């Protein structure tokens, strides 16, 4: 038996969420995508409606190459009116005056470039963004993930975990932001690095200035809120742990991205957090199930590709013992 066509109201609701997830700025787009996925999972009828909504939305994207070229023409009053007419016509095909209104005012906020990048353990990746000439350069450490969206008024990178170095092309009209689980980092033109592997977020500035705003607790479905920014200058580092920022301190900010040259550096870092970074550069992990060991603080610079040397060095700087396992992994114990 063939499945009945989904009701038009369901399609319009799904289309509303699809469009929001595609054209709204972050973090609204992410929330719309989460709502869409939850709505789809609630019933087969919702899943069918979402399929039809995506088909209609894709039809808009493939209607005409000339349509997209027209959207990219320089803005003049006459061309602007033409754009609005095209948006209204396209939205009418998709079904709904409300969508026409939304597309009209959200057009300038829609991303002109979006991409997701993820590295595997032991893998490094360099990415050039098409945001200027020359463009912003991003370097990802091992086992790291980012999502990039370039808008007409802003540039947004979401770090989902790992290590990231940003050499940001200056564009005062398009601020550059990095969103993380704990904070928002905003710059205009600078070089800075981040490390976040489930524990503290560390930000280090090599050149220029950045401002870091801590994410505040918000009710489900409400807009993200951030506190007053903390300004960091070149040579300063900032640690944020459990939503609390430590006082900025001077240090070797370039060492935070030392993994590009084969080194990992730690400064009074809880061993549990340090191991999360170390293990991204190993084929077999170093583990600890001992809270006492996990709380020990590690300071030092270690070669990421010398697994045996690292295991030999740890007992020299911390009161721990190492037990090697047949699979190449190792477990740490207090001694």
Q: What CATH fold (topology level) applies to the domain 262-334?
A: Phage tail protein beta-alpha-beta fold (3.55.50)
The pLDDT of residue 4: 53
Nearest to 55 by CA among 103, 94, 28, 1: 94
The CA-based angle 149-280-145, given to 5 degrees, is: 10
CB 233 within 8 A of CB 260: no
Q: According to the model, what pLDDT value does residue 116 have?
A: 95
Q: For the ranges 82-96, 140-154, 190-204, which has the lowest average pLDDT?
A: 82-96
For residue 37, pLDDT over 80 is answered with yes
CB 186 within 8 A of CB 210: yes
Report for 11-15, 20-24, 203-207: range of highest mean pLDDT: 203-207
Q: What would the mean pLDDT of 151-178 be, rounded to a whole number?
A: 93
Indicate the SS3 state at residue 102: helix
- Sorted by sequence, the CB contacts under 8 Å of residue 105 that are 6+ apart come out as none
Q: Quick check: bond before 130 cis, omega within 30?
A: no
User: Average pLDDT of 220-225?
Assistant: 65
Give the rounded percent of residues in the chain with a pLDDT score beyond 70.
80
Q: What is the mean pLDDT of residues 298-306?
A: 86
Percent of the chain with pLDDT over 90: 54
**C-beta separation of 159 from 192 below 8 A:** no
Mean pLDDT computed over every residue of the chain: 82
CA distance linking residue 41 with residue 30, whole number of Å: 17
Q: Which strand (E) or helix (H) includes residue 149?
A: strand 145-150
* 76-120 per-position pLDDT tens digit: 334 444 544 554 455 544 444 335 434 544 566 678 899 999 999
Match 């020359």 to its residue by tokens.
134
Which residue ranges make up each domain of the chain? 8-109, 113-250, 262-334
Annotation: CATH topology of 113-250: Jelly Rolls (2.60.120)
Per-residue model confidence as pLDDT tens digits over 223-264? 678 889 999 999 999 999 988 999 999 999 999 999 999 999
* pLDDT band at residue 60 using 50, 70 and 90 as cut-offs: low
Residue bearing the bigger pLDDT, 143 or 94? 143
Q: How far apart are CA 83 and CA 85, in angstroms?
A: 5
Whether this model's pTM surpasses 0.85: no
Overall average pLDDT of the 13-29 stretch: 79
Give the Cα separation of 256 and 164 in Å (integer).
9
Give 222's pLDDT tier (boundaries 50, 70, 90). low
pLDDT at residue 72, rounded to an integer:
40
Q: Band the pLDDT of 65: cuts 50, 70, 90.
A: very low
CB atoms closer than 10 angstroms to residue 148: 19
């Amino acid at each position: 038996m063939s499945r009945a066509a989904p009701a038009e109201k369901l399609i319009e609701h799904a289309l509303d969420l699809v469009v929001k997830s595609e054209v709204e700025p972050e973090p609204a787009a992410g929330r719309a995508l989460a709502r869409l996925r939850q709505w789809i999972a609630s019933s087969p009828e919702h899943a069918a409606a979402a399929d039809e909504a995506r088909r209609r939305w894709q039809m808009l994207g493939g209607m005409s190459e000339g349509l997209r070229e027209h959207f990219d023409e320089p803005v003049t009053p006459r061309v602007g009116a033409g754009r609005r007419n095209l948006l209204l016509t396209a939205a009418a095909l998709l079904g709904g005056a409300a969508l026409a209104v939304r597309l009209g005012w959200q057009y300038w906020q829609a991303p002109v470039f979006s991409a997701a990048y993820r590295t595997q353990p032991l893998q490094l990746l360099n990415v050039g963004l098409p945001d200027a000439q020359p463009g912003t350069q991003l370097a990802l450490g091992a086992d790291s993930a980012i999502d990039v969206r370039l808008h007409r008024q802003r540039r947004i990178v979401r770090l989902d975990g790992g290590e990231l170095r940003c050499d940001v092309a200056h564009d005062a009209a398009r601020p550059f932001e990095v969103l993380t689980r704990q904070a928002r980092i905003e710059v205009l033109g600078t070089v800075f690095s981040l490390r976040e592997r489930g524990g503290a977020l560390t930000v280090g500035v090599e050149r220029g200035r950045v401002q870091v705003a801590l994410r505040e607790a918000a009710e489900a479905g409400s807009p993200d809120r951030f506190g007053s920014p903390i300004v960091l200058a070149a040579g300063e580092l900032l640690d944020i742990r459990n939503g609390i920022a430590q006082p900025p301190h001077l240090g070797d900010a370039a060492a935070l991205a030392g993994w590009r040259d084969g080194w990992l550096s730690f400064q009074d870092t809880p061993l549990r957090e340090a191991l999360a970074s170390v293990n991204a550069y190993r084929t077999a992990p170093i583990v600890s199930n001992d809270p006492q060991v996990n709380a020990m603080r590690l300071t030092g610079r270690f070669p990421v590709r010398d697994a045996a040397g690292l295991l030999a060095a740890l007992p020299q700087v911390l009161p721990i013992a190492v037990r090697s396992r047949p699979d190449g992994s190792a477990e740490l114990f207090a001694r």
